[in-house]
Structure 1
């Protein structure tokens, strides 16, 4: 299996080149197929540098959404960058939960993989995602708090998929007296990955060190304006959460009917296990449906949400045509 599809979600152009076809359905990314709708109509002044007051307002509005004090929030140009910068700022041994996001293992030099529920050395740092990717495992907030209280090292929690169901988020516990850092992503829930916007929620001293690394004007004017407006749109956020749950339930029903057992508590994607996931990936790709296989898990295939009833029906027909 070629790296464009096992390395990360996406790779649609590479799939078109290899498999041909048109009218592709991209189910490989775990991104909301119903994006926040107002971004395309917004206008920006491209002749001015982004205003620091506008950046502060974005962080304040996002802080209200996350349930944390704004002084603990630092906006970054994508969660990927936030993960790597924070990893460079913390000292000491670290473990990362596997399977998980590839960057978690690269955050801290020498980080060792641990398999859940092994939480590693409590004196070291622990890096994990909640909900997890790709298996969709989600820990309740109480379990996350227990994990935090048992550690003397940093607990570094990637909540990139938490917006769809924030009940398990530990973001509100971020403060100056806890060794807790939470990472949040804008693009997945709001369906606008190209905005490249993320947030690091951390103690004030770590936020200050992070701002020094980022330097002046870390975000574009577009990212600041779109993020501020989207996080303030409480009506759309509530409706999106309900719709994602309904769409995930419809996907589950269809896949069960086709003999699969979808797993995962995150409504933005589902994982299935089959005898040869790479063969199923290729069979779906020949029907112009892109999914996510894994080089180190040849029985796993992850599927994002179809955007509408027609896309769901196409996936249903492709799974039936075996």
Structure 2
């Protein structure tokens, strides 16, 4: 099993602190949860129906020609490698480990590549996987750069897979509008931006023929009826989306300033998290955890990902924990 953020119960056991006493900043999920309406009882009693126009509403929201609802973008991550014969797959690193694992599990030859190496190595790849904005570093690549890579891959029937799970705060940088091009696949997630990770709803954006193959691989009723209903309502709620973007961008900038003030400067981030590298990353992780503040440690990168606090008391608690860490260093 690969590690993920949000393992609050595990942290509670490890540090012997009850779950309710933690401030969990270990994920990149919005602290502002979109208000889920009361759903009709019939939605829970009937099998999901795919003629509810969820795909059409998703196309409007993402600016894409075609969209396939999936049970979280993770479902597409695991299924896409099954749609190709053995391929040479590059994963732009460092990034979320699930992509490389899914392609490797399906029998493909997977290699990690850096952005500096890519100009020399792209000609040796059939598939390139990019997370944009990147998880966990927050790196964001320009659309022009990505489309250039796609054009080279598509010329030999290759794929560019772009995971845009954290793109909703900055939709102007999405490649969704270009997914009518052969071999360009964009993955989106409802859970991160709308704060609805438990709904398990995401979307694959690509040419219709590829989406049809993906749908056949996933099988019938891949997305539950309640998830479809919630997705329809959230994607249509333009006023809340606008408010969420404003609140999340402000919160991310506030977190950046707080971390910098605490001596953790020179990082990066996006509208849903901040990233910091430090030789003392593991010690900082432990210091915060002992105070009941859970962040995500990436030991191989000497880095920490900080999710966004919600209430003012959460901000004050994080600031106090960081200040305690600074006093210990002094």
Which TM-score band (shorter chain)?
over 0.9
Cα shift at 1:266: 1.1
Whole-angstrom CA distance in 2 between matches of 1:93 and 1:227: 35
Question: Which segment drifts farther, 146-155 or 265-274?
Answer: 146-155
Matched-pair contact (CA < 8 Å) for 2:281–2:299: no
1:35 match: secondary structure: coil
Cα shift at 1:41: 3.1
Task: Answer yes or no: is 1:13 the counterpart of 2:9.
Answer: yes
Whole-angstrom CA distance in 2 between matches of 1:262 and 1:207: 40
Name the counterpart of 1:85.
Answer: 79
Q: Deviations over 1:203-262 (max 9, x none)?
A: 121111111112221111110000000000000001100100111111111111111115
Task: Answer yes or no: is 1:165 the counterpart of 2:170.
Answer: yes
Query: Normalized against structure 2, the TM-score is what?
Result: 0.90
Task: Answer yes or no: is 1:60 the counterpart of 2:60.
Answer: no
Q: What is the RMSD of the two structures over their aligned residues, measured on CA atoms?
A: 1.6
Whole-angstrom CA distance in 2 between matches of 1:42 and 1:129: 34
Name the counterpart of 2:113.
Answer: 114
Name the counterpart of 1:231.
Answer: 235
Counterpart among 264, 267, 289 of residue 263 in structure 1: 267
Name the counterpart of 2:211.
Answer: 207
Whole-angstrom CA distance in 2 between matches of 1:264 and 1:204: 36
Name the counterpart of 1:146.
Answer: 148
Matched-pair contact (CA < 8 Å) for 1:160–1:188: yes
Structure 2 regions of 5+ residues with no counterpart?
326-330
Query: Normalized against structure 1, the TM-score is what?
Result: 0.92
Whole-angstrom CA distance in 2 between matches of 1:198 and 1:242: 22
Counterpart among 25, 34, 39 of residue 42 in structure 1: 39
2:128 match: secondary structure: strand
Task: Answer yes or no: is 1:94 the counterpart of 2:113.
Answer: no
Matched-pair contact (CA < 8 Å) for 1:252–1:262: no
How many residue pairs end up in the alignment?
311
Cα shift at 1:265: 4.0
Question: Which segment drifts farther, 42-51 or 285-294?
Answer: 42-51
Name the counterpart of 2:31.
Answer: 33
